[in-house]
Amino acid sequence: EAFRVVANPNPATEAERAEKLSSLKFGVNFTDHMARMTWSMDEGWTDRRIEPYAPLQLDPASSVLHYASEIFEGLKAYKWADGTIRTFRPQANAERFQRSAWRMALPELPTEDFMASIRALVELEKDWVPTIPESSLYLRPFLIGTDVFLGLRQPMTVDYLLIASPSGPYFSGGVKPVSIWVEQEYHRAGPGGTGAAKCGGNYASSLRPQIEAGKRGYDQVLYLDAKTDTVLEELGGMNVFVVMKDGTVVTPVLTGNLLEGVTRASIIQLLEDDHLKVVERDITIKELRDGVASGDVAEVFACGTAAVVTPIGKMGSTDFEQQVGDGQPGPVTLKVRQTLTDIQYGRAEDTYGWMETI
Ligand code: COI
């Protein structure tokens, strides 16, 4: 079923749009429209529509505002030199959105609807896809519980929304290494918790540790598993990779506590196809600390849709502080970043069939 369009009567003028597209930060500006669908327990998914981007009207008793009945996704649309617009592995996001929905007792949005909403919105907003280097149209699909009820139960009514933000890099300043604080006080997720779900609450709870790490001079937080307090899991909004001196690349295994990153999975594939040995296994904080100190760990990087591939130049915690390698982005980090972005921006052939034409 098609998305009907309710056009924005006051879209940005061409000059306003050009101004917004000329200097891009991450997630600050938005396009003129958003896609939307409504779900109810009785009727299922209905009312596929594109409407003007505008503040939402929500009853103050809506379940999202009290019990955080919310999940989201993040993916990007790229404008290639030939003028076509492509998204990166959107089916993977659609499927993860369904898994997150299941965990959070929200309705699963069918993959066809997820894909159709992206196609409809990006097609309509194609002039908003930026072309300056490292930029893209960041797409943010999300579900909110709109049930007007203060009892704690599965929402009976839900809205799906898709907004689009012409964006530059998540971290400004080029491929600049970030520093990470290995968190030994707070946890991101625990066994049986919501760690693998992309729910807003996981990200809200990462902000206090992030602030405390910031006070110590660190950019990002890396969490350990809640059960043993020894095994690396992920950062507040990114997965992590460790490159050993012998060229082996190690990344935490998906235990159900980690966000199952689309970028993470893509990087594993790219590294393997570049003949590197990639091992998904437990990495302890001791192995990381000792390895960085001895040089057995050559590189550490973080990855995600928003952050792409971000080098980690320094690590620290309550009991250590150590530069990674020479503190600069390492060759494996830079190469996989280049290979991935070459595919995404159409500078290299997409032999994987990852790019979906709008
Ligand atoms: C993304 O990388 O797209 C995310 O959703 C993470 C968010 C913290 C920006």
Say whether pLDDT at 1 is over 80. no
**Residue closest by Cα to atom 5 of ligand 1:** 74
Substitution site in 203, 259, 264 for ligand 1 pocket (most atoms within 8 Å of beta carbon): 203
At 173, is the pLDDT very low, low, confident or very high (cuts 50, 70, 90)? confident
Q: What is d(CA 84, CA 314) in angstroms, rounded to the nearest whole number?
A: 39
Structure confidence at residue 35 (pLDDT): 98
How far does the centroid of ligand 1 lie from the alpha carbon of residue 251, in Å? 19
Rounded to whole angstroms, how far apart are CA atoms 204 and 2?
34
Q: What is the pLDDT of residue 175?
A: 84
Strands (E), the chain: 4-5, 33-40, 44-52, 70-72, 75-79, 85-88, 136-145, 157-167, 178-183, 220-224, 232-235, 239-244, 249-251, 278-280, 297-304, 308-317, 320-323, 355-357
pLDDT of residue 329: 96
Q: Is the CB of 263 under 6 A from ligand 1?
A: no
- The per-residue pLDDT for range 257-303, each reduced to its tens digit, is 999 999 999 999 999 999 999 999 999 999 999 999 999 999 999 99
- Count of other CB atoms within 10 angstroms of residue 62: 21
Q: Which atom of ligand 1 is nearest to the CA of 307?
A: 2
The pLDDT of 52-70, averaged and rounded, is: 98
The answer to whether residues 260 and 239 touch, using CB atoms and an 8 Å cutoff, is: no
**What's the pLDDT at 244?**
97
Give residue 64's pLDDT: 98
More confident: 328 or 1: 328
How many CB atoms sit inside 10 A of residue 192's CB?
Answer: 8
Does residue 208 sit in helix, strand or coil?
Answer: helix
Question: For 256-268, what is each residue's pLDDT tens digit?
Answer: 999 999 999 999 9
169 lines ligand 1 (CB under 6 A): no
Query: Rounded mean pLDDT of the chain?
Result: 96
- What are the structure tokens assigned to 173, written together? 């300043």
Nearest CA to 84 among 141, 134, 122, 31? 122
Q: Which of 284, 302, 300 is nearest to 227 (CA)?
A: 284
**pLDDT band of 23, cuts 50, 70, 90:** confident
Within 156-246, where are the H helices? 200-204, 207-215
Is the beta carbon of 305 within 6 A of some atom in ligand 1?
yes
241 Cβ contact partners less than 8 Å away, ≥ 6 residues apart: 249, 250, 251, 264, 267, 300, 301, 302, 303
Q: What angle do CA 334, 288, 206 make, to 5 degrees?
A: 80
pLDDT at 174 over 80: no
Mean pLDDT, residues 134-142: 97
Q: How confident is the model at residue 117 (pLDDT cuts 50, 70, 90)?
A: very high
Q: Over range 47-65, report the average pLDDT.
A: 98
pLDDT at 36 over 80: yes
- Nearest of 74, 139, 146, 76 to residue 107 by alpha carbon: 146
Measured in Å, residue 238 CA sits from the centre of ligand 1 at 7
Q: How far apart are CA 318 and CA 135, in angstroms?
A: 37
Pocket test residue of 238, 258, 262 for ligand 1, highest count of atoms within 8 A of CB: 238
